């Protein structure tokens, strides 16, 4: 699990006991607050504060941890990219500010830029949303199909063949549905309710981020890996 000591005392969220005990509640509430902020403040032409965004996003790492080894890659990448945004929030006020900085310095597509790191964090939010959506439409004991479909939709197009192969192979190490629910301290009914809350609340946040890129004529798929599509069968 990601704790504040992973990045020092300045990491935006120090994992509290309540977050560890009820991570789905914390995630749903955090993104409902973001969605509420966007609904109210956007009318006043205010931009989303970077530190507020990072605070909500930091809860997501608990979900990746709960999915085990198969999503260790996502956890490590997500946490690393988010950490750079947390550090940036000490200097820059909004998501808009860091994108505009990269545009000014012509570093939008540079590895390690704020623009790329924000894009990766946004992909992480989308991956969790896709996992929840797949979870809700099946009662299968195994989460392999749930996770495989979500990964294929959200992240696979941006990864090399080697990474995709390793990820899909790791799907066999996923916890079962019941094990995941136990890890999250939820029943099936309570988990589904909170997952729906996150799905609904995260959508306007994801759309807001995408619009920041599109309004600056930054295409959303510039990091797309141009490699031959290879079909891998897992059944």
Q: What is the pLDDT of residue 182?
A: 94
- Average pLDDT score over residue span 67-86: 90
Q: Mean pLDDT across the stretch 55-71?
A: 90
Mean pLDDT of the chain: 84
What is the predicted pLDDT for the residue at 20? 55
Higher per-residue pLDDT: 225 or 64? 64
| Alpha carbon distance 139, 210 (integer Å) | 32
Q: Per-residue pLDDT for 86 more than 50?
A: yes
In this prediction, residue 188 carries a pLDDT of 95
Q: Where do we find the tokens 């989460």?
A: 143
Q: What confidence tens digit (pLDDT) does each residue in 174-232 have?
A: 999 999 999 999 999 999 999 999 999 999 999 999 999 999 988 866 554 333 333 33
**What pLDDT does 215 receive?**
92
CATH superfamily, domain at 4-214: Glycolipid transfer protein (1.10.3520.10)
Between the ranges 57-66, 92-101, 144-153, where is the mean pLDDT highest?
92-101
| Cα angle for residues 171, 176, 180 (degrees, 5° grid) | 105
Query: What is the reported pLDDT for 106?
Result: 94
Q: Are residues 75 and 143 in contact, defined by beta-carbon separation less than 8 angstroms?
A: no
The mean pLDDT of 76-100, rounded to a whole number, is 96
**Residue 128: phi, psi to the nearest 5?**
-65, -40
Cα separation, 37 vs 46, in Å, equals 10
Phi, psi angle pair for 33, to nearest 5°: -65, -40
Q: What does pTM read for this prediction?
A: 0.84
Say what the pLDDT of residue 116 is: 93
Closest CA to 191 of 65, 61, 27, 24: 24
Instruction: Say how many CA atoms lie within 13 Å of 200 toward its Cβ.
Output: 11
Contact (CB, 8 A) for 169 and 9? no
pLDDT at 11 over 60: no
pLDDT tens, position by position, 118-162: 999 999 999 999 999 999 999 999 999 999 999 888 887 877 788
Q: Which residue has the higher pLDDT, 61 or 87?
A: 87
For the cut 60, the answer to whether the pLDDT of residue 1 exceeds it is: no
Domain ranges across the chain: 4-214
Q: Specify the range with the lowest mean pLDDT, choosing from 15-19, 102-106, 143-147.
A: 15-19
């Amino acid at each position: 699990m990601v704790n504040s000591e992973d990045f020092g005392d300045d990491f935006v969220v120090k994992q509290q006991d309540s977050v560890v005990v009820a991570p789905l509640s914390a995630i749903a509430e955090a993104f409902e607050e973001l969605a509420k902020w966007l609904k109210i403040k956007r009318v006043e032409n205010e931009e989303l504060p970077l530190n507020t965004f990072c605070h909500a996003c930091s809860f997501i790492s608990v979900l990746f941890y709960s999915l085990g080894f198969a999503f260790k890659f996502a956890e490590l990448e997500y946490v690393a990219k988010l950490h750079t945004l947390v550090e940036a929030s000490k200097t820059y006020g909004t998501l808009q500010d860091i994108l505009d900085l990269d545009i000014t310095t012509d570093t939008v597509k540079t590895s390690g830029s704020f623009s790329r790191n924000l894009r990766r964090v946004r992909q992480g939010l989308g991956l969790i949303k896709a996992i929840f959506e797949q979870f809700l439409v099946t009662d299968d004991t195994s989460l392999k199909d749930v996770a495989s479909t979500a990964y294929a939709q959200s992240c696979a197009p941006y990864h090399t063949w080697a990474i995709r192969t390793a990820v899909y192979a790791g799907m066999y190490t996923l916890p079962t549905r019941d094990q995941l629910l136990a890890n999250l301290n939820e029943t099936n009914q309570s988990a589904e309710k909170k997952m729906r809350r996150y799905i609904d609340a995260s959508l306007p946040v994801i759309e807001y981020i995408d619009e920041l890129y599109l309004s600056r004529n930054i295409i959303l798929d510039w990091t797309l890996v141009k490699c031959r599509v290879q079909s891998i069968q897992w059944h």
